[in-house]
A = this chain, B = another copy of it.
Amino acid sequence: MSPLPYEVSVREVGPRDGLQAEAPVSVGERVALIEALSGTGLHTIEAVSFVSEKAVPSMAGAADVMAKIQRNPDVGYVALVPNLRGAQAALEADVDGLTVTVSASETYSQKNTNRSIAESMTSVEEICDFVDEKLPIDVVVSCAFGSPYEGNITAEELGSLVRNIWDTGATAVTLADTTGMATPRRIDDVIDETGNDVGLHLHETRGTALVNAYAGLQRGIVRFDTSVGGLGGSPFAAGASGNLATEDLIHLLDDIGVATGVDLAALLDIDTTLAAMIGHPVASRIAAAGPRSRLADSP
């Protein structure tokens, strides 16, 4: 077994990336979820998105959510922003950091944001200039390991895009396996090009999120995005296509001796409320099966 990092940090994206894919829930429920997550030992929560309320009704009321949460001083509450206007609104709402997305796939970029990759990069530059180092900005690269439109994205192409992102003044870069096309070999090839000072945002589309996380750990990756319950997939296919579930990663890391500071039991407590909130079971395997320490005679 290759040596693994002693500890890693986990950014919880459920309240934003997760709930965005669900039918809208109330501001109060979103606030309650964020506050519950704030008590699990997580240090970063992607809480809201300052996008068009018309285009993404489930993310409406971002400023309201930010104003209402009882903040835990040990937690950074970050917001996804699609453009300069979103960044301005986020700063007014006193967020602790921003995430911005750029796609590695030209077609995905056009279809998902109606912008070219180059236009997205210009937007990142504008946001970085505006924020002027007052807040950390993490640029999340979608389709980093392949695109459902163009197919493979080479490690060299991706490496070039990531270097351009660093040049904008971004404080972090996260590689997202948006449609589950990564494998350990591709994780490895990409890290050869980008270095291991990137985060990984992995999806379960093909059941490979944990094996890819493990491959990343073996290369020294220390930042992971996860979503409580695995929120963010199709509500009709439990476990089939969502984000890597926070519980599932924490459960694995706990057993292989990689510290996160996150309390698995506290996360599992949240799952019950969460399933009721979204109206269907969560996709997390650990939520369904329980941790490996749960014996047959346990309650």
Most chain B CB within a 10 A radius of its CB, from A150, A188, A255: A255
**In A131-187, which residues have CB < 8 Å from any B CB?**
146, 148-151, 180-181, 183-186
- On chain B, the residues within 8 Å of A180 by CB distance are 289, 292
- On chain B, the residues within 8 Å of A218 by CB distance are 1-2
Q: Could you say how many copies of this chain the assembly holds?
A: 2
With both beta carbons as reference points, the residue of chain B lying nearest to A290 in the complex is identified as: B206
- On chain B, the residues within 8 Å of A241 by CB distance are 288-289
| Least CB distance, A202 to chain B, in whole angstroms | 11
- On chain B, the residues within 8 Å of A278 by CB distance are none
User: Is the CB–CB distance between A256 and B184 below 8 Å?
Assistant: yes
| Least CB distance, A185 to chain B, in whole angstroms | 4
| Least CB distance, A129 to chain B, in whole angstroms | 35
- On chain B, the residues within 8 Å of A2 by CB distance are 2, 218
User: Is the CB–CB distance between A151 and B293 below 8 Å?
Assistant: yes
Judged by a CB distance under 8 angstroms, whether A297 is at the interface is yes
Tell me, in angstroms, the Cα distance from A153 to B155 when the chains sit together.
42
Besides A207-B239, A239-B240, 5 other A-B contacts (C-beta < 8 A): A1-B219, A149-B296, A180-B292, A208-B252, A239-B239
User: Is the CB–CB distance between A292 and B181 below 8 Å?
Assistant: yes
User: Is the CB–CB distance between A206 and B148 below 8 Å?
Assistant: no
Contact pick for A288, options B237, B252, B255, CB 8 Å: B237
User: Is the CB–CB distance between A237 and B240 below 8 Å?
Assistant: no
User: Is the CB–CB distance between B237 and A237 below 8 Å?
Assistant: no
User: Is the CB–CB distance between B251 and A206 below 8 Å?
Assistant: yes
- On chain B, the residues within 8 Å of A214 by CB distance are 184, 211, 214-215
With both beta carbons as reference points, the residue of chain B lying nearest to A293 in the complex is identified as: B151
Judged by a CB distance under 8 angstroms, whether A115 is at the interface is no
**A206-B240 contact given A183-B252, A184-B256, A252-B183, CB 8 Å threshold:** no
Q: Mark A212-245, 1 if CB is under 8 A from B, else 0.
A: 0111001100000000000000000111110000
